[in-house]
Amino acid sequence: MNITVRVWRQKNADDKGKMVTYGVENVSEHMSFLEMLDVLNEQLTLSGDDPIAFDHDCREGICGACGVVINGQAHGPQTTTTCQLHMRSFEDGAVIDIEPWRAGAFPVVKDLVVDRGAFDRIIQAGGFISAPTGSAPEANNLPVPKEDADHAFESATCIGCGACVAACPNGSGMLFTAAKITHLGLLPQGQPERDSRVIGMIEQHDHEGFGGCTNIGECTSSCPKGIPLDTISRLNRDLLGALAKGKA
Amino acid sequence: MTITEPYKNPSEQFHAVGDDIHDAKAPTGPIEKRWDDRKFNAKLVNPANRRKLSVLVVGTGLAGASAAATLGEAGYHVKSFCYQDSPRRAHSIAAQGGINAAKNYRNDGDSIYRLFYDTVKGGDFRARESNVYRLAQVSVNIIDQCVAQGVPFAREYGGLLDNRSFGGVQVSRTFYARGQTGQQLLIGAYQALERQIAAGTVEMNTRHEMLELIMVDDRARGIIVRDMVTGEIETHTADAVVLASGGYGNVFFLSTNAMGCNTTATWRAHRKGAYFANPCYTQIHPTCIPVSGDYQSKLTLMSESLRNDGRIWVPKKMNDERLASEIPEDERDYYLERIYPAFGNLVPRDIASRAAKYQCDAGKGVGPGGLGVYLDFADAIDRLGRPAVEAKYGNLFDMYAQITGEDPYSEPMRIYPAVHYTMGGLWVDYDLQSNLTGLFVTGEANFSEHGANRLGASALMQGLADGYFVLPYTLANYLADGPYDKVDHDHPAVVEAKQAVEERITTLLAINGTRTVDSYHKELGQIMWDYCGMERTEEGLTKAIGMIRDLKTDFWANVKVTGVNEELNQTLERAGRVADFFELGELMCIDALNRRESCGGHFRAESQTEDGEALRHDDEFAYVSAWEYGDKQPTLHKEPLEYEYVEMKSRSYK
Amino acid sequence: MVATTQTVKRPSAKRSTVALKYSMAVSGLIMLGYLLVHMYGNLKFFQGRDKFDHYLEGLDDILYPYLPHEGALWIIRVVLTAALVVHVYAAVTLWRRNKAAAGFVGNTRYHTKQNKTGVQRSYASFTMRWGGIILLLFIIGHVAQMLPNWLSPGGASDSKYDRVVNGFEIWWVVLLYTIGLVAVGFHLAHGFWSALTTLGQNHSSTRKSSRITAVSIGLAVIIAGGFLTVPFAIFFFGAGS
Ligand SMILES: Cc1cc2nc3c(=O)[nH]c(=O)nc-3n(C[C@H](O)[C@H](O)[C@H](O)COP(=O)(O)OP(=O)(O)OC[C@H]3O[C@@H](n4cnc5c(N)ncnc54)[C@H](O)[C@@H]3O)c2cc1C
Ligand code: HEM
Ligand code: HEM
Ligand code: SF4
Ligand code: F3S
Ligand code: FES
């Protein structure tokens, strides 16, 4: 199949940037979306142009490095990561618009690459359990109900890709933050720091310039890992509890 | 054909032979006491002095993140580096199956000794006993540590941890978190690391790629890195350097590794004098999704557990174009069940991989290019019912469908082997220190405890063992003699290293040739796969060395690297990595040529039994090959391996 | 052990976006409670002028003699005004913040013309904000009409019953009220669910699958529908004349 792509090109953080149109020929429907960009980049390189910069690493949907907005949808038309999206999801002759994640907290570095360091800093503000190496008790001393463990696991599968932020009309990082609050909050090991965790993480979330959540739910429909919306409600509940105890 | 009389190894036209290595620093005495002895005799550092001691940790995978977090927690001044935009994205995240530990929660006879035994045997007697025993010992602490961090391992209904059996062993000792064990373990280590970053003990440098090692007065004292966003070439110095930069499977271009996995950090250290051990040991995984076209950028692994219920077959007829469903039962060859009646579809990875290759070489492969065999669940679905199969393998089936666009419930899956893991790496002693003083190497980057072949679920174990429990002791022992004299940034060794990096970048950008970096990488990968892949021959390896050298020369004359250094330049990043892969690829072939035996992940066609099984030559090759870099040619140092506890036997799966 | 808290100075969680939302949710629920009572009162219109006017006068003397004449009413008014001020303040603050957070380039966020609604202005974000503004205008106009007899389309009267009837005989008054009430309906259809979610009470993985969503939509229909009976009865069926 032959397609046309319109890609956001921006040389660096200071450049203004614009959409640029390219044709890509002989695209196989079995190609992944990123392989299609590889083919385009080979073309661009040979013609002396700067290839399009995009983040990626594992190409199997688990590292969270990849992610672009395709035709207005974060990670494109399917509920998966950009690297796991295949060209068979598009028609022959399609015009595909490719843009970087847009959010105040995710400044563009170059072309489709953005800086998601804000997510790491949210984790630094409390997204952990303080368990110094060597201090751990025997693993089976503390049973965890299977249901809680499974639930915690589901929230822990967040890959930190940032699609939720790109999809949220408010540029809110609440689904990402809530996934971590839920993962750690459901486990007995996570209880001692539960209040300080939610307070620290929310403070950092706001400090980074993410928007507030107005319970729109667009984030969950773009999340490749299906992080559910009730995680956000749990975060709200945890913060309310922490504030009520006067912990802030 | 078997090798009978000793003759001068033809590999010696490509290398010199140096002195043997005799002291790997492992304590002697009863094996179960060696690690305790080492810990007791290790020098300690007063907590008040730790702040003054600095360590650079390259890599934030399981090995690097666990080490940086633990060292930071202990109070050392740590700087951590990774090439991704976040430490959480290190390649360890992709591990699926699980992590081994000798907890014996299943009461099925597991023990530290059994894990030790299985690992030595699984490694085809090419690993050090002392190291492997220590690995088995600390494996139990790893699980405790991870659970305390909040890693959500699978649990039983009673709330206790669940286990499964994995990788051809008879006990259930594998802890797992659905198909995402690596992810969950890495997130645990990453969170511990972020906690230390917040505490100010670890300084994180993301999107920074190590391009050179700095040696001062015969000690590793620093690294040169490139800030991948601004292009700035930075110097970082410290009292010790830890490389935890992962494996080099990407030398094959197509592998299950992440796109950015590289050998640059280890190769640059090798060029500065660190020995590279056993480079030819590569693990090829049998159950990957086959290549679908020449645009393919990477291969995807599907968990080995699929072989528990799936049956592997090919059509008996050559170049059979029919759909799988149109091929009647008696025209199918379930070749693994036929050749290995005892283990059937569950033979070890290397055997299953090679068998698939033979079928495809014989023209019986299926799918595009005839590079694939069927993995059929029709019987399992008949026997267990579709819901049961779905519950067990649903996510893998979905992944397959997502990638291939085919429905594995109605047509059998197609699978093909792919490069998955590299057992070789920088040589280290018992303390995980390389032959360069002050340079420590952990995780997949070192030549590790897996010998010639790694058991499933053991790489995660090793990475975390190194980072959480081994390195913190052995590195402290080294640091106890510090802090060493401060290294100024205008020290000649620093200036030299920095200039070398800058010159290399300038050269790459100036060539402005006609071929893309990827096209070279693909061609190199094809050579490696054809001649240094599942089966190696003297003739092929010799030919490959010549081809690689020619290709390398062509690369430095004709590659086209666009853009400039002073900005995010992904082409430049790749060019530097591919340049190092050329040199490593050549060494892999030389190592494979030298090792005229078949062991683990290395199969020499000249060395097989009459019925085509791998044949080891313990009399001649029971050693670690540690290669020293040389401008003209490398030098081989042999570290002899002795087995006091496990008797050397040959494997049999018939 | 080393400290695990960050040293960077950050605004307190008490002033966070989530805390702002708590105040929005609570003030919204207070207003919602008022609306339910108000609607119930309005339905007394169908009992005729005397009963209706009498009921409204009765409101002046709630808890009399414990509270002075109109005392309870003033408390309610103060609470309601405070709720409205808090609610609007929070809404405007969040709205401005969120716009800045969305990463606009010029005046668009994404340049693509495809999938405009999906990612960028979903139903809820659109209706809550513009609906809220319509509501605010409606409330100002409505209070001006009902309470002090200032704005009296159709003719002023001491009888509120008459005033209501006079007003709703005019088509554009009915139209404005309809717009206002549809806005109330939409606002609450998302708002009630959203408020409970904000207060941590949603346990469903998506909005659609939440039981509160059904309740929320039901409530919105009842309130908007309940209020609309009066103007529609007057305009279309000539009630009260
Ligand atoms: C698909 C797949 C499935 C697997 N499943 C299992 C399993 O089930 N069980 C098991 O035990 N093992 C499994 N393995 C193997 C295991 O995942 C790896 O061996 C292990 O995770 C390696 O960890 P590491 O910390 O050594 O390196 P990595 O996780 O590869 O980390 C390398 C780090 O080094 C950094 N780095 C690299 N080069 C540079 C440079 N030049 N400059 C700066 N930084 C650099 C990277 O940024 C990264 O942070 C699997 C492997 C694959 C590919
Ligand atoms: C007067 C102008 C008003 C404006 C500008 C306004 C605006 C908004 C906005 C933007 C929201 C969504 C924010 C969010 O979900 O967090 C909201 C929520 C809400 N509004 Fe209003 N509103 C107004 C009036 C009212 C009135 C009169 C009521 C009561 C009937 C009301 C009840 C609610 C409720 C219950 C919520 C949900 C709170 C939450 O999500 O936590 N609003 N309002
Ligand atoms: C058709 C619909 C409506 C009718 C017929 C109606 C009628 C009235 C009447 C008669 C009064 C005067 C009551 C008194 O004297 O105490 C009143 C007051 C008021 N109404 Fe409505 N109303 C309607 C809809 C609404 C809506 C949708 C809102 C809010 C969103 C609202 C908010 C108010 C307020 C705030 C007051 C002032 C209460 C006070 O301070 O005493 N009304 N309304
Ligand atoms: S919550 Fe989902 S969309 Fe958001 S970062 Fe995590 S995986 Fe990505
Ligand atoms: S889309 Fe945005 S508003 Fe909240 S529910 Fe999701 S973060
Ligand atoms: S590249 Fe890793 S998730 Fe897409």
CA distance B93 to chain A (A): 6
Q: Is residue A138 part of a domain?
A: no
B414 and B443 belong to one structural domain: no
The type of residue at B414 is: R
pLDDT at C4 over 50: no
Q: Is C179 left (phi over 0), alpha (psi -120 to 50) or beta?
A: alpha
B267 and B314 belong to one structural domain: no
pLDDT at residue number B351 = 86
Q: Is the Cβ–Cβ distance between B301 and B367 less than 8 Å?
A: no
A172 and A71 belong to one structural domain: no
Q: Which residues form the domain of A63?
A: 3-110
Q: Is residue B521 part of a domain?
A: yes
Interhelix angle A230-244/A174-185, nearest 10 degrees? 70
Q: Is residue B484 part of a domain?
A: no
How far apart CA A5 and CA C56 sit, in angstroms, is 66
Q: Is the Cβ–Cβ distance between A239 and A213 less than 8 Å?
A: no
Mutate to test the pocket of ligand 3, among C31, C81, C146 (most ligand atoms within 8 A of CB): C146
A102 and A150 belong to one structural domain: no
The type of residue at B167 is: G
What stretches of chain C show up as alpha helix (H) in DSSP? Answer: 17-42, 49-60, 71-101, 116-119, 123-146, 160-168, 171-198, 211-237
Mutate to test the pocket of ligand 6, among A81, A85, A86, A225 (most ligand atoms within 8 A of CB): A81
B545 and B464 belong to one structural domain: no
Q: Is residue A166 part of a domain?
A: yes
Q: Is the Cβ–Cβ distance between B218 and B122 less than 8 Å?
A: no
How far apart CA B4 and CA A32 sit, in angstroms, is 50
B412 and B440 belong to one structural domain: no
- Band (B654; pLDDT cuts 50, 70, 90): low
Q: Is residue B6 part of a domain?
A: no
How far apart CA B291 and CA B307 sit, in angstroms, is 20
- Band (C5; pLDDT cuts 50, 70, 90): very low
Q: Is residue B201 part of a domain?
A: yes
Q: Is residue B650 part of a domain?
A: no
For residues C230, C231, C236 and C237, what is the CA-based torsion angle, rounded to 10 degrees? 30
Which is it for the CA torsion C1, C5, C6, C7, positive or negative? Answer: negative
- Kindly report the backbone phi and psi dihedral angles of residue B54, in degrees, each rounded to the nearest multiple of 5, phi listed first: -120, 150
Of B391, B419, B447, which residue sits at a domain end?
B419
- Band (C240; pLDDT cuts 50, 70, 90): confident
Q: Is residue A137 part of a domain?
A: no
* Token output for A221: 């429909």
Model confidence pLDDT, tens digit, residues B541-550? 999 999 999 9
Give every CB contact of residue B151 below 8 A, 6+ residues apart in sequence. B177, B184, B185, B187, B188
Of B369, B389, B419, which residue sits at a domain end?
B419
Q: Where are the domains of chain C?
A: 19-101+122-237
A127 and A236 belong to one structural domain: yes
A73 and A123 belong to one structural domain: no
pLDDT at residue number B607 = 96
Domain tally for chain A? 2
Using a pLDDT cut of 90, give the percent of chain C over it. 60
A93 and A127 belong to one structural domain: no
Mutate to test the pocket of ligand 6, among A32, A56, A79 (most ligand atoms within 8 A of CB): A56
Active site residue B207: no
How confident is the model over C177-181, as a mean pLDDT? 95
3-state secondary structure C24-42: HHHHHHHHHHHHHHHHHHH
Q: Is residue B119 part of a domain?
A: yes
CA distances from B18 to B8, B13, B277, B633 (A): 15, 14, 14, 12
Model confidence pLDDT, tens digit, residues B409-444? 999 999 999 999 999 999 999 999 999 999 999 999
Question: In which residue are the tokens 């660190």 written?
Answer: B274
A49 and A167 belong to one structural domain: no
**How many beta carbons lie within 10 A of that of residue B41, not counting itself?**
9
How confident is the model over C158-168, as a mean pLDDT? 88
B27 and B176 belong to one structural domain: yes
pLDDT at residue number B243 = 98
Centroid of ligand 1 to alpha carbon of B247 (angstroms): 7
Q: Integer distance in angstroms from the first to the last C-alpha of chain B?
A: 20
A184 and A80 belong to one structural domain: no
How far apart CA A24 and CA A36 sit, in angstroms, is 8
* Nearest of B179, B167, B175 to residue B346 by alpha carbon: B167
Q: Is the Cβ–Cβ distance between B459 and B444 less than 8 Å?
A: yes
CATH number at residue A236: 1.10.1060.10
- Residue A217 CB less than 6 A away from ligand 5: yes
Best to test chain A binding among B568, B571, B573 (most A CBs inside 10 Å): B568
Q: Is residue A30 part of a domain?
A: yes
* Token output for B325: 């469903």
How far apart CA A35 and CA B574 sit, in angstroms, is 16
Domain tally for chain B? 3
Query: Residues enclosing ligand 2, CB less than 6 A?
Result: A 214-215; C 21, 24-25, 28-29, 31-32, 35, 84, 87-88, 91, 128-129, 132-133, 135-136, 139, 187, 191-192, 194-195, 198
- Band (B379; pLDDT cuts 50, 70, 90): very high
Q: Contact B295/A39, CB-based, under 8 Å?
A: yes
- Residue B82 CB less than 6 A away from ligand 1: yes
pLDDT at B639 over 50: yes
Please report which ligand is nearest the Cα atom of C142.
3
How far apart CA C20 and CA C89 sit, in angstroms, is 9
pLDDT at C59 over 90: no
A184 and A200 belong to one structural domain: yes
For residue C4, the chain B residues in CB contact (below 8 A) are 195, 198-199
Predicted model pTM: 0.95
Q: Is the Cβ–Cβ distance between B624 and B10 less than 8 Å?
A: no
Model confidence pLDDT, tens digit, residues B4-16? 565 678 999 999 9
Model confidence pLDDT, tens digit, residues B31-68? 999 999 999 999 999 999 999 999 999 999 999 999 99
Model confidence pLDDT, tens digit, residues C197-212? 999 999 888 887 888 8
A229 and A150 belong to one structural domain: yes
A125 and A102 belong to one structural domain: no
Give every CB contact of residue B204 below 8 A, 6+ residues apart in sequence. A120, B80, B87, B193, B197
Q: Pairing between strand B202-205 and B77-81?
A: parallel
For residue A55, the chain B residues in CB contact (below 8 A) are 85
CA distance A188 to chain B (A): 9
Kindly state whether C106 is in contact with chain A, defined as any CB-CB distance less than 8 angstroms: no
The chains in contact with chain C, meaning 3 or more Cβ pairs closer than 8 Å, are: A, B
How far apart CA C15 and CA A111 sit, in angstroms, is 35
Q: Which of B173, B268, B349, B604 is catalytic?
A: B349
Q: Is residue A136 part of a domain?
A: no
* Token output for A138: 């025997």
Q: Contact B196/C2, CB-based, under 8 Å?
A: yes
Model confidence pLDDT, tens digit, residues A130-176? 999 999 999 999 999 999 999 999 999 999 999 999 999 999 999 99
Of B479, B506, B523, which residue sits at a domain end?
B479
A103 and A121 belong to one structural domain: no
Q: Is residue B448 part of a domain?
A: yes
B375 and B471 belong to one structural domain: no
CA distance A19 to chain B (A): 19
Atom of ligand 4 nearest to the CA of A167: 3
Q: Which residues form the domain of B508?
A: 492-621
- Residue B300 CB less than 6 A away from ligand 1: no
How confident is the model over B471-480, as a mean pLDDT? 97
Q: Is the Cβ–Cβ distance between A56 and B258 less than 8 Å?
A: no
How far apart CA B113 and CA B118 sit, in angstroms, is 9
Q: Is residue B330 part of a domain?
A: yes
pLDDT at C119 over 60: no
pLDDT at residue number B168 = 66
How far apart CA B54 and CA B223 sit, in angstroms, is 13
pLDDT at residue number C66 = 83
Model confidence pLDDT, tens digit, residues B183-196? 999 999 999 999 99
Kindly state whether C6 is in contact with chain B, defined as any CB-CB distance less than 8 angstroms: yes
B40 and B178 belong to one structural domain: yes
CA distances from B622 to B591, B596, C94 (A): 14, 12, 69
A57 and A160 belong to one structural domain: no
Can you list the positions of beta strands (E) in B545-634? Answer: 623-628
3-state secondary structure of B155: strand
Q: Residue B143: enclosing H or E segment and its boundaries?
A: helix B129-149
For residue A124, the chain B residues in CB contact (below 8 A) are 194-195, 197-198
- Band (B535; pLDDT cuts 50, 70, 90): very high
CATH class of C19-101+122-237: mainly alpha
How far apart CA A182 and CA A234 sit, in angstroms, is 7
Model confidence pLDDT, tens digit, residues B242-258? 999 999 999 999 999 99
Q: Contact A237/C201, CB-based, under 8 Å?
A: yes
How far apart CA B392 and CA B379 sit, in angstroms, is 15
Mean pLDDT, 10 residues at a time, chain A of 248 residues: 97 95 95 97 95 97 97 94 96 96 97 98 98 96 95 97 96 98 97 97 97 93 95 97 90
* Token output for B206: 């993301």
Kindly state whether B7 is in contact with chain A, defined as any CB-CB distance less than 8 angstroms: no
